[in-house]
Amino acid sequence: MARQEHALQSIAAWKVVPSPVRRLPFDILAEIFVFRVVPSLRSRSTSADDPREPPILMSHVCALWRNVALNTPRLWSDLIFLFSKSLPERGTVPILKELIHRSTPHALRTYIDADAFSASGATDILQQLIAIPEFASRIQTLHLEMGTKHLENLMYDTPPVFPHIETLRLDICISRRQQFVGHILKFFHSPTLRRLTIRCTYWEEAFCISLAAHFPWAQLVNLDLDVDLKAAELVRILTQCVSLRQCELFSLPDRKPRRDFEICTLPTLETLILKGWEHTYWLFEIFRFPNLTLLDLVLGKWPTEAFQVTATFALTHLALHCTYDNGLALVLRFLAQSPTIESLQLNDIHGIGLVEGLTYAPSDDPVLLPRLEILWISIASWGDAAEIVLRDGGEIIVQMIESRLYPDLRPTSAPAFAELWEFGFKCWKPKFSVSVQERLANLEEDGVLTWWE
């Protein structure tokens, strides 16, 4: 990464590759060329967004650059097609086979993005790619962002053609008139598929049923779902993910399934990210995660008994989002059962909850995290509680910074978290009492505390 950033900075500064080009070794030229061109192909704002053209216009570069490009297979391993309403559609793309041949022997990564006005052209490109045997055998990553109206016609009763695909991402929109499109997922069946992302704006119930019944969930390692599923359907999917290591779920049901499920253990799951969840503690009642080390979730109004199921976690990294004022009190209840935490991130803490939460633990029984090394707190808004927090919470904040509650806290051990406290949208240093300000000044001099100015 450091070499890539250095190369990009040099090119941005000089607008050209360092001169004289012909004196640079071939391998250095190839590396600079990849760093310069490949990132520019990932945005609609670039000029290389016409799928009818090769990603590099060879007539615009010197003979040496042309030779370097043609002999750098890595440069051609990304096939990116961005369609829009303003782009005229054509039925054929004769350069496809040549691009695929130039990337040999590298695995192919393909991204096709089409809006509602250009979906037919995108489907035509995909159909031609599928018909090329070399593409089907070498595709490793596929990202489709389009509607399912044309995909359904293309993939209906078509057997899987991607034997070595490992990563699949579908950003699709399903029409309300479609009743069953499970064969779209069947089309991507592969024994090598390990990472799956599905994001959709609307799902028919029939398709949701096929989602659990017609896909090889057991082989997945990473799963990312943004789908309007019912709770029972989600349980059926997760119970099949016996090899899952990382799972990210977004905007999923808050209510517990109506029928009772047996307790299921996901022994390999290490990372669980729950976005948009507030009342879904029922998930932890049905599933057990003995090897879970990273948890990121929205902590809503959980009942007290919900924290009993979290005692079995062996978390080392925890990120919590509090959705109401007194949420920090629940946070500390959660932390009391997670003594293995090394990195703690509290997001969107409200001002009034800061004082209530930090004073939750009795003085004779403080909440101790003996392994804590990284502490990050983000306050979403102070509101009317600003004066209360600054007056009554200042001393508590200083105590935490001075590691009185957390004696092993070492904020400087992780450069990524150089700032220990971030006070949300406020750009001024809180005005604590004189004694507190003096102690904070000492902490700043020692390099322990850095404020956002």
Does residue 276 belong to any structural domain of this protein? no
Contact criterion met (CB below 8 Å) for 124 and 146: no
Block residue for tokens 């017609």: 214
Domain count, the chain: 3
Backbone angles phi, psi at 401, to 5 degrees: -65, -40
71 & 99 share domain: no
- If asked whether residues 45 and 188 sit together in one domain, one would say no
Do 305 and 434 reside in the same domain of the chain? yes
Last residue of a domain, one of 215, 250, 270: 215
Residue 243: predicted pLDDT = 93
CA distance linking residue 372 with residue 389, whole number of Å: 24
pLDDT of residue 452: 38
Q: Can you give the pLDDT at residue 400?
A: 47
CB 420: neighbour CB atoms within 10 A?
19
46, 76, 106 — which closes off a domain?
76
Tell me if 143 is assigned to some domain: yes
Q: What is the pLDDT of residue 38?
A: 43
Paired strand residues for 222: 195, 246
Domain region containing 442: 293-453
Is 145 in the same domain as 42?
no
- Does residue 315 sit in the same domain as residue 451? yes
pLDDT of residue 36: 47
Q: How many CA atoms lie within 13 A of 233 on its CB side?
A: 20
Residue showing tokens 């045997």: 133
Residue at 228 is within a domain: no
DSSP label at 418? Answer: -
Q: Is residue 241 within 8 Å of residue 265, measured between CB atoms?
A: no
* 98 and 134 housed in the same domain: yes
- 166, 197, 215 - which closes a domain: 215
- In sequence order, the β-bridge partners of residue 139 are 108
Is-contact 177 205, C-beta < 8 A? no
pLDDT for the residue numbered 164: 87
How far is it, in rounded angstroms, from Cα 163 to Cα 176? 31
Mean pLDDT by 10 residues, the chain (453 residues): 60 48 59 49 39 43 67 80 59 67 86 70 78 86 78 70 88 60 73 88 56 80 84 85 91 67 88 75 82 82 60 77 62 72 71 49 54 64 41 44 42 32 33 54 56 39
430 in the same domain as 371:
yes
Residue 387's pLDDT is what?
40
Structural domain contains residue 53:
yes
Taken as a whole, the chain contains a residue count of: 453
The CA distances from residue 55 to 80, 91, 430, in Å, are: 8, 19, 52
> Are the CB atoms for 328 and 367 separated by under 8 Å?
no
Residues 17 and 149 in one domain: no
Tokens 């809503």 found at: 300
CB burial string 376-407: b at 16+ within 10 A, e below = bbebbebeebeeebbeebbebbbebbbeebbe
Q: Which two tokens stand for residue 214?
A: 């017609």
